[in-house]
Chain A
Amino acid sequence: MNNPRRKLVVDDLRIGHWSRRSGSFALACDGLTFDVAENEFVAIVGPSGCGKTTFLTALAGLTPVESGRLELNGEQITGPAPDRSLVFQQASLFPWRTVVANIEFGLKAQRRLDAKGKARVAELVELVGLAGKEESYPRELSGGMSQRVNLARALATDPDLLLLDEPFSALDAQTRELMQEELTRVWQADGAGTGKTAVFVTHDVPEAVFLADRVIVFSRGPAHLVEVVEVDLPRPRGAGVKRSPRFQEISDHILSLVMSQNQPGRRTEDHDSNAALSR
Protein backbone atom coordinates (compact mmCIF):
# COMPACT_ATOMS: atom_id res chain seq x y z
CA MET A 1 0.00 0.00 0.00
CA ASN A 2 1.67 3.22 -1.10
CA ASN A 3 -0.57 5.95 0.18
CA PRO A 4 1.01 9.42 -0.22
CA ARG A 5 -0.53 10.39 3.11
CA ARG A 6 1.76 7.97 4.90
CA LYS A 7 4.74 10.11 5.66
CA LEU A 8 5.64 8.15 8.75
CA VAL A 9 4.82 4.47 9.03
CA VAL A 10 4.90 2.67 12.36
CA ASP A 11 4.15 -1.00 11.93
CA ASP A 12 4.28 -3.64 14.67
CA LEU A 13 7.11 -1.70 16.26
CA ARG A 14 8.98 -3.04 19.26
CA ILE A 15 11.61 -0.96 21.05
CA GLY A 16 13.37 -1.50 24.34
CA HIS A 17 16.45 -0.84 26.37
CA TRP A 18 19.35 -3.17 26.90
CA SER A 19 20.62 -2.87 30.41
CA ARG A 20 24.38 -2.70 30.33
CA ARG A 21 24.74 -3.92 33.89
CA SER A 22 22.54 -6.99 33.91
CA GLY A 23 22.56 -7.65 30.17
CA SER A 24 18.77 -7.98 30.17
CA PHE A 25 16.31 -6.40 27.80
CA ALA A 26 13.32 -4.33 28.92
CA LEU A 27 10.58 -3.74 26.40
CA ALA A 28 9.29 -0.15 26.20
CA CYS A 29 7.06 -0.22 23.11
CA ASP A 30 5.29 -3.35 22.00
CA GLY A 31 3.56 -3.76 18.69
CA LEU A 32 2.80 -0.12 17.93
CA THR A 33 1.03 0.43 14.61
CA PHE A 34 -0.10 3.74 13.15
CA ASP A 35 0.62 6.23 10.36
CA VAL A 36 1.32 9.94 10.29
CA ALA A 37 0.42 11.98 7.24
CA GLU A 38 2.41 14.77 5.58
CA ASN A 39 2.02 18.10 7.43
CA GLU A 40 0.13 16.43 10.23
CA PHE A 41 0.54 17.39 13.88
CA VAL A 42 0.24 14.29 16.01
CA ALA A 43 0.23 14.25 19.81
CA ILE A 44 1.04 11.20 21.91
CA VAL A 45 -0.37 10.84 25.42
CA GLY A 46 0.03 8.00 27.85
CA PRO A 47 0.86 7.16 31.45
CA SER A 48 4.24 8.13 32.87
CA GLY A 49 7.00 5.68 32.07
CA CYS A 50 5.03 3.94 29.34
CA GLY A 51 7.64 4.51 26.66
CA LYS A 52 6.77 7.82 25.02
CA THR A 53 10.29 9.23 25.24
CA THR A 54 11.70 5.92 24.09
CA PHE A 55 9.45 5.97 21.05
CA LEU A 56 10.45 9.53 20.24
CA THR A 57 14.17 8.80 20.60
CA ALA A 58 13.66 5.87 18.24
CA LEU A 59 12.10 8.27 15.75
CA ALA A 60 15.09 10.55 16.22
CA GLY A 61 17.38 7.58 15.60
CA LEU A 62 18.92 7.57 19.07
CA THR A 63 17.38 4.29 20.21
CA PRO A 64 17.63 1.28 17.88
CA VAL A 65 14.48 -0.48 16.72
CA GLU A 66 14.18 -4.07 17.96
CA SER A 67 11.71 -5.23 15.36
CA GLY A 68 8.96 -3.89 13.13
CA ARG A 69 8.84 -1.06 10.65
CA LEU A 70 9.61 2.57 11.45
CA GLU A 71 9.74 4.35 8.12
CA LEU A 72 10.03 8.01 7.25
CA ASN A 73 9.30 8.80 3.58
CA GLY A 74 9.46 5.10 2.83
CA GLU A 75 12.86 4.49 4.43
CA GLN A 76 13.53 2.63 7.65
CA ILE A 77 14.98 4.87 10.38
CA THR A 78 18.35 3.50 11.44
CA GLY A 79 20.04 6.53 13.00
CA PRO A 80 19.93 10.29 13.36
CA ALA A 81 19.62 12.31 10.17
CA PRO A 82 19.38 16.02 9.34
CA ASP A 83 15.73 15.62 8.30
CA ARG A 84 14.62 15.19 11.92
CA SER A 85 15.13 17.26 15.03
CA LEU A 86 14.15 16.76 18.60
CA VAL A 87 13.07 19.20 21.30
CA PHE A 88 14.16 17.55 24.52
CA GLN A 89 12.14 16.97 27.67
CA GLN A 90 14.91 18.23 29.97
CA ALA A 91 16.91 21.38 29.65
CA SER A 92 19.53 20.58 27.05
CA LEU A 93 20.87 23.95 25.98
CA PHE A 94 24.63 24.37 25.94
CA PRO A 95 25.36 26.74 28.84
CA TRP A 96 28.56 28.04 27.19
CA ARG A 97 26.74 29.17 24.07
CA THR A 98 24.66 32.30 23.68
CA VAL A 99 21.04 32.08 22.59
CA VAL A 100 21.99 32.61 18.95
CA ALA A 101 24.91 30.18 19.10
CA ASN A 102 22.62 27.54 20.63
CA ILE A 103 20.08 27.97 17.86
CA GLU A 104 22.86 27.80 15.29
CA PHE A 105 24.25 24.54 16.65
CA GLY A 106 22.40 22.15 14.34
CA LEU A 107 23.23 24.16 11.23
CA LYS A 108 26.85 24.41 12.28
CA ALA A 109 27.12 20.69 12.99
CA GLN A 110 25.73 19.99 9.52
CA ARG A 111 28.00 22.60 7.90
CA ARG A 112 25.02 24.59 6.70
CA LEU A 113 25.68 27.80 8.59
CA ASP A 114 26.07 30.07 5.56
CA ALA A 115 24.47 33.47 4.98
CA LYS A 116 21.12 31.80 4.40
CA GLY A 117 21.44 29.81 7.60
CA LYS A 118 22.32 32.95 9.57
CA ALA A 119 19.29 34.71 8.10
CA ARG A 120 17.08 31.79 9.07
CA VAL A 121 18.40 31.88 12.65
CA ALA A 122 17.73 35.61 12.87
CA GLU A 123 14.23 35.01 11.55
CA LEU A 124 13.60 32.26 14.11
CA VAL A 125 14.81 34.46 16.97
CA GLU A 126 12.08 36.90 15.98
CA LEU A 127 9.53 34.17 15.42
CA VAL A 128 9.88 32.60 18.86
CA GLY A 129 9.98 36.01 20.54
CA LEU A 130 13.58 36.14 21.67
CA ALA A 131 14.54 39.42 20.03
CA GLY A 132 16.92 41.32 22.31
CA LYS A 133 18.07 38.11 24.01
CA GLU A 134 20.42 37.00 21.24
CA GLU A 135 23.59 37.39 23.28
CA SER A 136 22.22 36.08 26.58
CA TYR A 137 23.47 32.84 28.08
CA PRO A 138 21.09 30.04 29.11
CA ARG A 139 21.58 30.73 32.82
CA GLU A 140 20.17 34.21 32.26
CA LEU A 141 16.95 32.86 30.71
CA SER A 142 13.67 31.90 32.31
CA GLY A 143 12.26 28.42 31.81
CA GLY A 144 9.89 29.63 29.09
CA MET A 145 12.67 31.41 27.22
CA SER A 146 14.91 28.33 27.41
CA GLN A 147 12.22 26.21 25.81
CA ARG A 148 11.79 28.82 23.08
CA VAL A 149 15.50 28.51 22.33
CA ASN A 150 15.13 24.73 22.40
CA LEU A 151 12.29 24.98 19.90
CA ALA A 152 14.14 27.44 17.67
CA ARG A 153 17.22 25.19 17.69
CA ALA A 154 15.10 22.29 16.48
CA LEU A 155 13.42 24.40 13.79
CA ALA A 156 16.69 25.96 12.56
CA THR A 157 17.73 22.91 10.57
CA ASP A 158 14.36 23.03 8.81
CA PRO A 159 13.54 19.40 9.62
CA ASP A 160 11.10 17.29 7.67
CA LEU A 161 9.85 15.83 10.92
CA LEU A 162 9.80 17.77 14.18
CA LEU A 163 9.83 15.75 17.40
CA LEU A 164 8.86 17.32 20.71
CA ASP A 165 9.17 15.57 24.07
CA GLU A 166 7.01 17.31 26.68
CA PRO A 167 8.66 20.62 25.85
CA PHE A 168 6.40 22.61 28.16
CA SER A 169 6.00 20.22 31.08
CA ALA A 170 8.38 22.16 33.34
CA LEU A 171 6.61 25.48 32.81
CA ASP A 172 3.95 27.08 34.97
CA ALA A 173 0.34 26.97 33.74
CA GLN A 174 0.22 30.48 32.23
CA THR A 175 3.55 30.23 30.44
CA ARG A 176 2.55 26.83 29.16
CA GLU A 177 -0.69 28.16 27.64
CA LEU A 178 1.25 30.98 26.07
CA MET A 179 3.82 28.61 24.63
CA GLN A 180 1.12 26.33 23.25
CA GLU A 181 -0.44 29.20 21.35
CA GLU A 182 2.99 30.29 20.22
CA LEU A 183 3.85 26.80 19.01
CA THR A 184 0.71 26.62 16.85
CA ARG A 185 1.56 30.07 15.51
CA VAL A 186 5.21 29.17 14.82
CA TRP A 187 4.23 25.82 13.39
CA GLN A 188 1.74 27.41 11.03
CA ALA A 189 4.08 30.29 10.15
CA ASP A 190 7.26 28.30 9.63
CA GLY A 191 6.17 25.72 7.08
CA ALA A 192 5.15 28.23 4.41
CA GLY A 193 1.49 27.94 5.41
CA THR A 194 1.33 24.17 5.49
CA GLY A 195 2.97 23.35 8.78
CA LYS A 196 5.62 20.75 9.32
CA THR A 197 4.97 17.18 10.24
CA ALA A 198 5.27 17.04 14.01
CA VAL A 199 5.08 14.42 16.74
CA PHE A 200 4.43 15.93 20.16
CA VAL A 201 4.62 13.92 23.37
CA THR A 202 2.78 15.21 26.43
CA HIS A 203 1.11 14.27 29.70
CA ASP A 204 -1.34 17.08 29.36
CA VAL A 205 -4.50 15.99 27.54
CA PRO A 206 -5.92 19.48 26.82
CA GLU A 207 -2.51 20.46 25.48
CA ALA A 208 -2.58 17.48 23.12
CA VAL A 209 -6.09 18.26 21.91
CA PHE A 210 -5.32 21.95 21.45
CA LEU A 211 -2.20 21.32 19.37
CA ALA A 212 -2.86 18.16 17.42
CA ASP A 213 -4.76 16.96 14.39
CA ARG A 214 -4.82 13.50 15.93
CA VAL A 215 -4.08 12.28 19.43
CA ILE A 216 -2.54 8.85 19.87
CA VAL A 217 -3.14 7.21 23.22
CA PHE A 218 -0.49 4.81 24.52
CA SER A 219 -1.17 2.11 27.10
CA ARG A 220 0.78 1.50 30.28
CA GLY A 221 4.32 0.31 29.60
CA PRO A 222 5.33 -1.48 27.51
CA ALA A 223 3.30 0.82 25.33
CA HIS A 224 0.88 -0.44 22.74
CA LEU A 225 -1.77 1.51 20.93
CA VAL A 226 -5.02 2.14 22.79
CA GLU A 227 -6.78 4.48 20.41
CA VAL A 228 -6.19 7.15 17.79
CA VAL A 229 -8.51 10.12 18.31
CA GLU A 230 -9.23 12.58 15.49
CA VAL A 231 -9.34 16.20 16.66
CA ASP A 232 -11.79 17.78 14.24
CA LEU A 233 -11.42 21.32 15.61
CA PRO A 234 -10.98 24.01 12.95
CA ARG A 235 -7.62 25.75 12.42
CA PRO A 236 -6.24 28.24 13.05
CA ARG A 237 -7.02 27.63 16.69
CA GLY A 238 -6.99 30.42 19.24
CA ALA A 239 -7.11 30.18 23.01
CA GLY A 240 -10.92 30.33 22.75
CA VAL A 241 -11.05 26.83 21.28
CA LYS A 242 -10.37 25.41 24.73
CA ARG A 243 -13.78 26.59 25.93
CA SER A 244 -15.75 25.03 23.07
CA PRO A 245 -18.01 22.02 23.88
CA ARG A 246 -16.33 19.92 21.18
CA PHE A 247 -12.92 20.51 22.78
CA GLN A 248 -14.31 19.40 26.13
CA GLU A 249 -15.88 16.33 24.58
CA ILE A 250 -12.66 15.18 22.92
CA SER A 251 -10.56 15.95 26.00
CA ASP A 252 -12.92 14.03 28.26
CA HIS A 253 -12.85 11.04 25.96
CA ILE A 254 -9.05 10.96 25.83
CA LEU A 255 -8.78 11.58 29.55
CA SER A 256 -11.01 8.60 30.29
CA LEU A 257 -8.80 6.46 28.04
CA VAL A 258 -5.67 7.59 29.85
CA MET A 259 -7.26 7.15 33.27
CA SER A 260 -8.29 3.60 32.44
CA GLN A 261 -4.63 2.94 31.69
CA ASN A 262 -3.61 4.25 35.08
CA GLN A 263 -5.96 1.90 36.91
CA PRO A 264 -4.91 -1.70 36.41
CA GLY A 265 -8.34 -3.09 37.26
CA ARG A 266 -9.98 -1.29 34.37
CA ARG A 267 -7.54 -2.21 31.68
CA THR A 268 -8.98 -4.00 28.71
CA GLU A 269 -5.83 -5.79 27.64
CA ASP A 270 -3.19 -7.45 29.75
CA HIS A 271 0.49 -6.88 29.22
CA ASP A 272 1.93 -7.99 32.50
CA SER A 273 3.89 -10.92 31.21
CA ASN A 274 6.48 -9.11 29.13
CA ALA A 275 7.83 -6.40 31.42
CA ALA A 276 11.30 -7.84 31.18
CA LEU A 277 12.46 -10.36 28.64
CA SER A 278 15.86 -11.89 29.22
CA ARG A 279 17.95 -13.09 26.38
Chain B
Amino acid sequence: MLELLDSGFVLGQLRSGVTTAIFLFLIASGLSLIFGVLRIINFAHGSLYMIGAYIAWDTTARLPGYGVSFWASVLVAACVVAVLGAVVERCLLRFVYRREEHYQLLFTYALVLIFSDAAKILWGTEAHSVSRPHGLAGSVELGGVRFPTYELVILAIGSMVVIVLWLSLNRTGYGRIIRAAALDREMLGALGTDVSSLYTTMFMAASFLAGLSGALITPIRSVVPGMDVEIIVDAFIVVVIGGLGSLWGTLLGSLVYGMVLAFGIVIFPRFSIFAAFALMALVLIIRPWGLLGRPIR
Protein backbone atom coordinates (compact mmCIF):
# COMPACT_ATOMS: atom_id res chain seq x y z
CA MET B 1 0.00 0.00 0.00
CA LEU B 2 3.06 2.21 0.04
CA GLU B 3 2.30 3.00 -3.59
CA LEU B 4 -0.38 5.36 -2.33
CA LEU B 5 2.35 7.74 -1.21
CA ASP B 6 3.64 8.07 -4.74
CA SER B 7 1.78 10.91 -6.43
CA GLY B 8 2.59 9.59 -9.89
CA PHE B 9 1.04 6.27 -9.03
CA VAL B 10 -2.02 7.89 -7.53
CA LEU B 11 -2.50 10.07 -10.60
CA GLY B 12 -2.11 7.04 -12.81
CA GLN B 13 -4.79 5.13 -10.92
CA LEU B 14 -6.96 8.22 -10.96
CA ARG B 15 -6.60 8.34 -14.72
CA SER B 16 -7.54 4.71 -15.13
CA GLY B 17 -10.47 5.15 -12.73
CA VAL B 18 -11.80 8.08 -14.73
CA THR B 19 -11.54 6.21 -18.01
CA THR B 20 -13.39 3.24 -16.53
CA ALA B 21 -15.98 5.64 -15.12
CA ILE B 22 -16.66 7.20 -18.51
CA PHE B 23 -17.44 3.87 -20.12
CA LEU B 24 -19.53 2.90 -17.14
CA PHE B 25 -21.43 6.16 -17.43
CA LEU B 26 -22.09 5.74 -21.15
CA ILE B 27 -23.59 2.32 -20.50
CA ALA B 28 -25.31 2.95 -17.21
CA SER B 29 -26.90 6.23 -18.28
CA GLY B 30 -28.80 4.39 -21.01
CA LEU B 31 -29.85 1.68 -18.59
CA SER B 32 -30.96 4.30 -16.11
CA LEU B 33 -32.81 6.37 -18.72
CA ILE B 34 -34.71 3.33 -19.96
CA PHE B 35 -35.64 2.39 -16.43
CA GLY B 36 -36.61 5.95 -15.53
CA VAL B 37 -38.94 6.39 -18.48
CA LEU B 38 -39.99 2.95 -19.69
CA ARG B 39 -39.90 1.36 -16.21
CA ILE B 40 -38.18 -1.67 -17.59
CA ILE B 41 -34.91 -3.19 -16.45
CA ASN B 42 -33.13 -4.06 -19.63
CA PHE B 43 -30.54 -6.79 -19.20
CA ALA B 44 -29.93 -6.71 -22.94
CA HIS B 45 -28.38 -3.26 -22.68
CA GLY B 46 -24.93 -4.86 -22.31
CA SER B 47 -25.60 -6.90 -25.43
CA LEU B 48 -26.10 -3.72 -27.42
CA TYR B 49 -22.72 -2.54 -26.15
CA MET B 50 -21.12 -5.81 -27.24
CA ILE B 51 -22.73 -5.62 -30.67
CA GLY B 52 -21.45 -2.05 -30.98
CA ALA B 53 -17.94 -3.32 -30.29
CA TYR B 54 -18.20 -6.12 -32.86
CA ILE B 55 -19.60 -3.83 -35.52
CA ALA B 56 -16.86 -1.28 -34.90
CA TRP B 57 -14.19 -3.97 -35.16
CA ASP B 58 -15.77 -5.44 -38.27
CA THR B 59 -16.22 -2.10 -40.05
CA THR B 60 -12.74 -0.87 -39.14
CA ALA B 61 -11.29 -4.01 -40.67
CA ARG B 62 -13.26 -3.48 -43.87
CA LEU B 63 -12.79 0.23 -44.37
CA PRO B 64 -9.59 1.45 -45.99
CA GLY B 65 -7.45 4.22 -44.51
CA TYR B 66 -7.26 3.57 -40.81
CA GLY B 67 -7.74 6.69 -38.73
CA VAL B 68 -10.68 8.12 -40.57
CA SER B 69 -12.10 4.65 -40.82
CA PHE B 70 -11.99 4.19 -37.05
CA TRP B 71 -14.19 7.19 -36.38
CA ALA B 72 -16.45 6.30 -39.27
CA SER B 73 -16.87 2.83 -37.87
CA VAL B 74 -17.64 4.20 -34.39
CA LEU B 75 -20.43 6.23 -35.96
CA VAL B 76 -21.66 3.28 -38.01
CA ALA B 77 -21.67 1.04 -34.94
CA ALA B 78 -23.58 3.54 -32.79
CA CYS B 79 -26.18 4.15 -35.51
CA VAL B 80 -26.68 0.48 -36.38
CA VAL B 81 -27.10 -0.36 -32.69
CA ALA B 82 -29.56 2.54 -32.30
CA VAL B 83 -31.67 1.13 -35.14
CA LEU B 84 -31.40 -2.37 -33.71
CA GLY B 85 -32.59 -1.00 -30.36
CA ALA B 86 -35.57 0.67 -32.00
CA VAL B 87 -36.50 -2.58 -33.75
CA VAL B 88 -36.22 -4.55 -30.50
CA GLU B 89 -38.43 -2.01 -28.74
CA ARG B 90 -41.06 -1.87 -31.48
CA CYS B 91 -41.23 -5.58 -32.21
CA LEU B 92 -40.58 -7.20 -28.84
CA LEU B 93 -40.37 -5.10 -25.70
CA ARG B 94 -43.60 -3.29 -26.47
CA PHE B 95 -45.49 -6.47 -25.61
CA VAL B 96 -44.05 -6.91 -22.14
CA TYR B 97 -44.61 -3.43 -20.66
CA ARG B 98 -47.81 -4.51 -19.00
CA ARG B 99 -46.42 -7.78 -17.67
CA GLU B 100 -45.03 -8.29 -14.19
CA GLU B 101 -41.44 -7.33 -13.50
CA HIS B 102 -40.03 -10.82 -13.19
CA TYR B 103 -41.48 -11.64 -16.59
CA GLN B 104 -39.80 -8.56 -18.07
CA LEU B 105 -36.50 -9.54 -16.48
CA LEU B 106 -36.71 -13.05 -17.91
CA PHE B 107 -37.64 -11.62 -21.28
CA THR B 108 -34.70 -9.24 -21.51
CA TYR B 109 -32.44 -12.00 -20.20
CA ALA B 110 -33.62 -14.18 -23.07
CA LEU B 111 -32.56 -11.38 -25.40
CA VAL B 112 -29.09 -11.48 -23.81
CA LEU B 113 -28.77 -15.17 -24.70
CA ILE B 114 -30.07 -14.64 -28.22
CA PHE B 115 -27.75 -11.73 -28.93
CA SER B 116 -24.78 -13.54 -27.46
CA ASP B 117 -25.32 -16.56 -29.70
CA ALA B 118 -26.01 -14.40 -32.71
CA ALA B 119 -22.72 -12.58 -32.13
CA LYS B 120 -20.86 -15.89 -31.93
CA ILE B 121 -22.41 -17.05 -35.19
CA LEU B 122 -21.65 -13.78 -36.97
CA TRP B 123 -18.22 -12.95 -35.56
CA GLY B 124 -16.86 -16.18 -34.08
CA THR B 125 -15.63 -16.85 -30.58
CA GLU B 126 -12.05 -15.64 -30.75
CA ALA B 127 -10.94 -12.30 -29.33
CA HIS B 128 -10.50 -9.39 -31.70
CA SER B 129 -8.61 -6.23 -31.15
CA VAL B 130 -8.54 -2.82 -32.74
CA SER B 131 -5.49 -0.59 -32.62
CA ARG B 132 -5.74 3.03 -31.58
CA PRO B 133 -6.58 5.42 -34.38
CA HIS B 134 -3.74 7.32 -36.04
CA GLY B 135 -2.61 10.39 -34.22
CA LEU B 136 -4.07 9.13 -30.98
CA ALA B 137 -1.71 6.24 -30.42
CA GLY B 138 0.77 8.23 -28.33
CA SER B 139 0.46 9.84 -24.97
CA VAL B 140 0.69 13.26 -23.41
CA GLU B 141 2.66 14.02 -20.29
CA LEU B 142 0.80 15.95 -17.61
CA GLY B 143 2.22 16.44 -14.13
CA GLY B 144 4.62 13.56 -14.45
CA VAL B 145 1.99 11.12 -15.60
CA ARG B 146 1.62 9.88 -19.11
CA PHE B 147 -1.95 10.13 -20.35
CA PRO B 148 -2.65 8.10 -23.45
CA THR B 149 -4.02 10.57 -25.97
CA TYR B 150 -6.90 8.26 -26.80
CA GLU B 151 -8.08 8.30 -23.20
CA LEU B 152 -8.09 12.09 -23.22
CA VAL B 153 -10.33 11.97 -26.27
CA ILE B 154 -12.61 9.56 -24.41
CA LEU B 155 -12.67 11.99 -21.50
CA ALA B 156 -13.73 14.78 -23.86
CA ILE B 157 -16.42 12.64 -25.50
CA GLY B 158 -17.71 11.44 -22.12
CA SER B 159 -17.94 14.96 -20.73
CA MET B 160 -19.74 16.07 -23.86
CA VAL B 161 -22.29 13.28 -23.50
CA VAL B 162 -22.94 14.27 -19.87
CA ILE B 163 -23.50 17.89 -20.85
CA VAL B 164 -25.64 17.08 -23.88
CA LEU B 165 -27.78 14.66 -21.87
CA TRP B 166 -28.28 17.13 -19.06
CA LEU B 167 -29.11 19.98 -21.40
CA SER B 168 -31.52 17.93 -23.46
CA LEU B 169 -33.36 16.67 -20.40
CA ASN B 170 -33.54 19.97 -18.56
CA ARG B 171 -33.42 22.70 -21.15
CA THR B 172 -35.44 21.44 -24.10
CA GLY B 173 -39.14 20.89 -24.64
CA TYR B 174 -38.62 17.28 -25.59
CA GLY B 175 -36.58 16.76 -22.42
CA ARG B 176 -39.42 18.13 -20.32
CA ILE B 177 -41.78 15.70 -22.02
CA ILE B 178 -39.38 12.85 -21.22
CA ARG B 179 -39.27 13.87 -17.56
CA ALA B 180 -43.05 14.07 -17.51
CA ALA B 181 -43.24 10.59 -19.03
CA ALA B 182 -41.07 9.27 -16.21
CA LEU B 183 -43.51 10.72 -13.68
CA ASP B 184 -46.92 9.85 -15.17
CA ARG B 185 -47.12 8.31 -18.61
CA GLU B 186 -50.90 7.90 -18.63
CA MET B 187 -51.50 11.57 -17.88
CA LEU B 188 -48.95 12.61 -20.48
CA GLY B 189 -50.81 10.49 -23.05
CA ALA B 190 -54.11 12.10 -22.08
CA LEU B 191 -52.52 15.49 -22.70
CA GLY B 192 -51.71 14.48 -26.27
CA THR B 193 -48.21 12.97 -26.32
CA ASP B 194 -47.82 9.74 -28.24
CA VAL B 195 -46.05 7.95 -25.42
CA SER B 196 -45.38 4.80 -27.39
CA SER B 197 -43.33 6.62 -30.01
CA LEU B 198 -41.57 8.50 -27.23
CA TYR B 199 -40.56 5.12 -25.81
CA THR B 200 -39.10 4.06 -29.12
CA THR B 201 -37.10 7.28 -29.34
CA MET B 202 -35.81 6.83 -25.78
CA PHE B 203 -34.81 3.27 -26.41
CA MET B 204 -33.08 4.29 -29.57
CA ALA B 205 -31.12 7.03 -27.80
CA ALA B 206 -30.05 4.66 -25.02
CA SER B 207 -29.03 2.05 -27.59
CA PHE B 208 -27.02 4.66 -29.45
CA LEU B 209 -25.06 5.35 -26.26
CA ALA B 210 -24.52 1.62 -25.70
CA GLY B 211 -23.30 1.14 -29.26
CA LEU B 212 -21.10 4.20 -29.00
CA SER B 213 -19.39 3.03 -25.84
CA GLY B 214 -18.94 -0.48 -27.24
CA ALA B 215 -17.26 0.98 -30.30
CA LEU B 216 -15.10 3.40 -28.34
CA ILE B 217 -13.74 0.74 -26.04
CA THR B 218 -12.36 -1.44 -28.84
CA PRO B 219 -8.88 0.21 -28.89
CA ILE B 220 -8.62 -0.32 -25.12
CA ARG B 221 -10.08 -3.77 -24.58
CA SER B 222 -10.40 -6.74 -26.86
CA VAL B 223 -13.72 -7.68 -28.33
CA VAL B 224 -14.74 -11.03 -26.89
CA PRO B 225 -17.87 -13.02 -26.19
CA GLY B 226 -18.92 -12.42 -22.60
CA MET B 227 -18.18 -8.71 -22.63
CA ASP B 228 -21.95 -8.15 -22.66
CA VAL B 229 -22.58 -9.85 -19.34
CA GLU B 230 -19.47 -8.37 -17.76
CA ILE B 231 -20.50 -4.80 -18.54
CA ILE B 232 -24.13 -5.23 -17.57
CA VAL B 233 -23.12 -6.44 -14.12
CA ASP B 234 -20.87 -3.38 -13.75
CA ALA B 235 -23.62 -1.10 -15.01
CA PHE B 236 -26.05 -2.50 -12.49
CA ILE B 237 -23.59 -1.92 -9.67
CA VAL B 238 -23.27 1.68 -10.88
CA VAL B 239 -26.99 2.36 -10.97
CA VAL B 240 -27.56 0.66 -7.65
CA ILE B 241 -24.89 2.87 -6.08
CA GLY B 242 -25.95 6.05 -7.83
CA GLY B 243 -29.71 5.58 -7.97
CA LEU B 244 -31.65 4.16 -10.91
CA GLY B 245 -33.29 6.84 -13.01
CA SER B 246 -31.07 9.72 -11.87
CA LEU B 247 -28.55 11.22 -14.28
CA TRP B 248 -26.26 12.74 -11.64
CA GLY B 249 -26.60 9.59 -9.61
CA THR B 250 -25.38 7.57 -12.57
CA LEU B 251 -22.43 9.89 -13.02
CA LEU B 252 -21.54 9.75 -9.33
CA GLY B 253 -22.01 5.97 -9.27
CA SER B 254 -19.70 5.60 -12.29
CA LEU B 255 -16.99 7.72 -10.71
CA VAL B 256 -17.23 5.99 -7.36
CA TYR B 257 -17.16 2.54 -8.93
CA GLY B 258 -14.35 3.49 -11.33
CA MET B 259 -12.26 4.73 -8.42
CA VAL B 260 -13.03 1.70 -6.27
CA LEU B 261 -11.84 -0.55 -9.07
CA ALA B 262 -8.70 1.52 -9.63
CA PHE B 263 -7.67 1.88 -6.00
CA GLY B 264 -9.21 -1.35 -4.74
CA ILE B 265 -6.44 -3.14 -6.62
CA VAL B 266 -3.97 -1.57 -4.21
CA ILE B 267 -5.86 -2.24 -1.04
CA PHE B 268 -7.26 -5.67 -1.89
CA PRO B 269 -4.84 -6.72 -4.63
CA ARG B 270 -6.77 -9.79 -5.65
CA PHE B 271 -10.25 -8.75 -4.71
CA SER B 272 -10.86 -5.33 -6.17
CA ILE B 273 -14.26 -6.49 -7.36
CA PHE B 274 -15.00 -7.41 -3.76
CA ALA B 275 -14.58 -3.78 -2.74
CA ALA B 276 -17.20 -2.84 -5.33
CA PHE B 277 -19.68 -5.40 -4.11
CA ALA B 278 -19.10 -4.38 -0.53
CA LEU B 279 -19.79 -0.78 -1.47
CA MET B 280 -22.96 -1.79 -3.29
CA ALA B 281 -24.17 -3.79 -0.30
CA LEU B 282 -23.46 -0.84 1.97
CA VAL B 283 -25.44 1.53 -0.25
CA LEU B 284 -28.30 -0.96 -0.43
CA ILE B 285 -28.47 -1.12 3.35
CA ILE B 286 -28.22 2.61 4.02
CA ARG B 287 -29.95 4.09 0.98
CA PRO B 288 -31.72 1.33 -0.95
CA TRP B 289 -32.70 3.80 -3.68
CA GLY B 290 -29.07 4.84 -4.32
CA LEU B 291 -26.99 7.85 -3.40
CA LEU B 292 -28.88 10.34 -5.56
CA GLY B 293 -31.95 8.32 -6.44
CA ARG B 294 -35.39 8.75 -5.00
CA PRO B 295 -37.52 6.15 -3.29
CA ILE B 296 -40.07 4.76 -5.71
CA ARG B 297 -43.60 5.47 -4.60
A binds B: no
Residues of chain A whose beta carbon lies under 8 Å from any beta carbon of chain B: none
